[in-house]
Amino acid sequence: GQNGGTPGGGHLGEDTSFRWQCVEQPIGKLLFQRFLEGAPGLAAAGALWAELEAYERCEEVERGGAAAALRGRFFTPGGAEHCSFLSAAATAPPTGEAPP
């Protein structure tokens, strides 16, 4: 393009997908996360998102403990912020990993 093109495939405001608006766009992501934090019943989803991003940034040696903490807090019935809306497939341990 004349302006050097747009990174990521030329998004020109035409992409209305959740990923584009609420994950890839910093202001959209911030606003959506604030919405989750303030909405009754959705705060756990916002907390899970923040913790998953922190998990992505942690060192490899810390990942086992971080994953166990995430499972206990968000994926286990009775956990501090159990996300009951997640499917069993979404909360299942990765293949080859024993449940805690």
Each residue's pLDDT, cut to its tens digit, for the chain (100 residues) gives: 444 444 555 555 567 899 999 999 999 999 999 999 999 889 999 999 999 999 999 999 999 999 999 999 999 888 889 998 888 888 887 776 555 5
pLDDT, position 59: 95
- Is 9 within the bounds of a domain? no
Q: How many distinct structural domains can be found in the chain?
A: 1
Distance of CA 39 to the CA centre of its chain: 17
- Is 32 within the bounds of a domain? yes
Beta-carbon contacts of 26 under 8 Å, excluding residues fewer than 6 positions away, are: none
Range of the domain at 66: 18-75
- Is 61 within the bounds of a domain? yes
Write the DSSP symbol of residue 9: T
- Is 52 within the bounds of a domain? yes
